[in-house]
Amino acid sequence: MCGIVAYYGHQNGISISLKGLKRLEYRGYDSAGLAFLENNQINIIKNKGKIKDLIGLINGEQANIVISHTRWATHGQPNHINAHPHFSMDHSIAIVHNGIIENHADLKKELTEKYNYKFQSETDSEVIAHLIQFFYQGNFEEAFRKMLSKIEGAFGIVALHKKHNELICARKGSPLVLGLGENEYFIASDPSPFLDHTKNVIYLEEKQMAIISENHYEVKDFNGLNLDVEMEEIPFGIEAIQKQGFKHFMLKEINEQPNTIRDCFTGKLRNIEGIGIKLKTNIQRVVLVACGTSYHAALIGKYIIEKKSNIPVIVEHASEFRYRKPMLFPSDLVMAISQSGETADTLEAIRLAKKIGCNVAGIVNVTGSSIAKECGQGIYLHAGPEIGVASTKAFTSQVVALNLLNLFLNKNPYYQYEIAEELRKLPKIVEEFLKNEKVKEIAKKYFFAKHFLFLGRDINFPVALEGSLKLKEISYIPAEGYPAGEMKHGPIALIDSETPSIFILTKDEVYEKVISNMHEVKSRQGKIICICDHVNEEIEQLADDIIFVPKVIWELSPIINTIPLQLLAYYTADLNNREIDQPRNLAKSVTVE
């Protein structure tokens, strides 16, 4: 994880980097720091805490060449010493790193025992700076490349040498993008830090490095061969990464859903064959791999594809999938689902499927991301940057994309037409629903609860999982998502008069069954909040509170049912004064295994 911003140009790179780091805080926020070049000396300012704490340490310093970093700790506690940048022993080099150097312990042993190097921190990253010093004989680039040949693992690295007016960076497994301004250059983990300066970018590919000097940049492979690379233009503006009057990014992103849902299907409904997936074989099975919220979207995809297209679907946590012996066949369609497109486990799962020769595709939000590139085909969500750490708009777009996948697999033109019509109506329905203030009222009633249960059956079971994950992530209130019918096999023991159970139900074939489960809770004095599209007398009597959602077709119901759960999590966290956009211990983009 971690965010990197580096600047080379004619402006004050320190203020640009600090502003940029704030936009990357979603990648980690336990410590932060920067290094800058001044009179052939490198100065480092860093500290435990967030960017605002780092800003407090800046005393009017200015510099034109700067590297900076916001950290999500993996190796070593989040403290001052472990914060990036890291110096080489002789302070001639400073580096920032995102990723994990897997062989850092062996390299450190060799450098300390054989060559008497002294390490300051507990991080895996510090070894990078020492290695560059070790190999340096007057040529910074050559020493950097020799360092690259020694390290194993995942990295986005930017390095600075006190004797060279250069920034050198390299990417393997952790994203880095170059921003090309007017006589100024940026390097960052994503383009948001420099969007107000330039929209022209070069996404470094795997095993590429770049050397930036005054008014000049070069992209090379790790052997030092010059590469021809294409510049791209970022398709969104600065407003996409600003709160625009909302108290939090999460609330803004929840409210963007009418548009993001539309943007996901726009241009794809008329020609579903052209959604971007080419199959090498007839497929026998779909395997969906994902993590976190994206995993819940995948579970929804399973319910839809199996029921409506009669194709078996397996859903896998990417982190589990990789380390057992996954039974994959070339006739499988293996799809990665990922908002960021950078989740390490999901990326590796796709690499594994490719090795076996499966059909491979992605459902990804961030264009040009590692997973998007590795898959080489699939459906982009086009939801725009999602900044709140808890995923909201990406999730509902993933459900739209999985519906598109289902239409692609289904092949029945009448069914395709019917769902396309329903999809077209959905943004308006969501827009109307978002005007509803009911969820806020309900949050005021329950925000002090000690724990929550989220219960649903059939397609509403993954919705329950997602509702409970949202609440946990941002309010830190323990919550459990469970299939409503399974509750009596365990979680029912948690029910007492203080515990709210949130039932999600749709007027479908399990509607009555869920009402029976509500009775089980009610008879144990549990509180019931009911999210449903059809209220009968029984529900009116059973439920303490009802959130009525508009009726939509079953395949799209997870979208409309999840939105009140997002809002419930949001308002509950806000009433508990939580740091909603940057909840403790989490990071948005998990580029470590």
Report if residue 189 touches ligand G6P, rule: CB under 6 A.
no
Q: Is 438 a catalytic residue?
A: no
CB 589 within 8 A of CB 340: yes
Distance set, CA 63 to CA 161, 198, 220 (Å): 14, 20, 26
Calpha distance 71→48 (Å, rounded): 9
List 340, 501, 566, 572, residue binding ligand G6P (CB under 6 A): 340
List 339, 406, 566, 582, residue binding ligand G6P (CB under 6 A): 339
Calpha distance 338→493 (Å, rounded): 35
99-107, 112-120, 206-214, 386-394 -> range binding ligand G6P (CB under 6 A): 386-394
Report if residue 319 touches ligand G6P, rule: CB under 6 A.
no
Calpha distance 513→488 (Å, rounded): 13
Q: Under DSSP, is residue 476 helix (H, G, I), strand (E, B) or coil?
A: coil
Tell me 273's DSSP state. G
Report if residue 292 touches ligand G6P, rule: CB under 6 A.
yes
Q: Is 588 a catalytic residue?
A: yes
- Taking the least distance from each CB to ligand G6P, the nearer of 198 and 346 is 346
Report if residue 400 touches ligand G6P, rule: CB under 6 A.
no
Report if residue 322 touches ligand G6P, rule: CB under 6 A.
no
Q: What residues from 61 to 120 belong to the interface with ligand G6P (CB under 6 A)?
A: none
Smallest separation (angstroms) from ligand G6P to the CB of 507: 30
Calpha distance 301→299 (Å, rounded): 5
Q: Distance from first CA to last CA of the chain, Å, rounded?
A: 10
- Report helix angle 460-475 to 557-575, nearest 10: 20
Report if residue 294 touches ligand G6P, rule: CB under 6 A.
yes
Given strand 285-290, what is the order of strands in its sheet? 313-317, 285-290, 332-338, 359-364, 378-380
What DSSP letter does each residue of 535-578 carry, written as one string? --HHHHHH-SEEEE-----GGGHHHHHHHHHHHHHHHHHHHTT-
Catalytic residue among 46, 172, 268, 588: 588
List 64, 260, 309, 338, residue binding ligand G6P (CB under 6 A): 338
Here the tokens at position 74 are 């993996």
Report if residue 591 touches ligand G6P, rule: CB under 6 A.
no
- The number of residues that bind ligand G6P (CB under 6 A) is 15
Report if residue 133 touches ligand G6P, rule: CB under 6 A.
no
Other CB atoms closer than 10 Å to residue 448's CB: what's the count?
A: 11
State the Rg of the chain over Cα.
25
Tell me 327's DSSP state. -
List 391, 396, 403, 499, residue binding ligand G6P (CB under 6 A): 391
- Taking the least distance from each CB to ligand G6P, the nearer of 391 and 403 is 391
Here the tokens at position 240 are 């996409």
Smallest separation (angstroms) from ligand G6P to the CB of 338: 3
Calpha distance 296→312 (Å, rounded): 17
Calpha distance 186→541 (Å, rounded): 61
List 257, 343, 397, 572, residue binding ligand G6P (CB under 6 A): 343
- Taking the least distance from each CB to ligand G6P, the nearer of 133 and 319 is 319
- Report helix angle 393-410 to 557-575, nearest 10: 170
218-226, 243-251, 385-393, 568-576 -> range binding ligand G6P (CB under 6 A): 385-393
Beta bridge partners of 169: 158, 210
Distance of CA 41 to the CA centre of its chain: 37
Smallest separation (angstroms) from ligand G6P to the CB of 320: 14
Smallest separation (angstroms) from ligand G6P to the CB of 551: 28
Calpha distance 232→127 (Å, rounded): 34
Smallest separation (angstroms) from ligand G6P to the CB of 346: 5
Catalytic residue among 2, 264, 291, 375: 2
69-77, 292-300, 304-312, 498-506 -> range binding ligand G6P (CB under 6 A): 292-300
Per the omega criterion (within 30 degrees of 0), is the bond before 85 cis?
yes
* Helix H or strand E encompassing 16: helix 13-23
Report if residue 346 touches ligand G6P, rule: CB under 6 A.
yes
224-232, 454-462, 482-490, 582-590 -> range binding ligand G6P (CB under 6 A): 582-590
144-152, 171-179, 302-310, 389-397 -> range binding ligand G6P (CB under 6 A): 389-397
Smallest separation (angstroms) from ligand G6P to the CB of 532: 26
Smallest separation (angstroms) from ligand G6P to the CB of 315: 14
299-307, 323-331, 552-560, 583-591 -> range binding ligand G6P (CB under 6 A): 583-591
Tokens 């203020």 sit at which residue? Answer: 15
Catalytic residue list: 2, 588
Residues making contact with ligand G6P (CB under 6 A): 291-294, 338-340, 343, 346, 389-391, 586, 588, 590
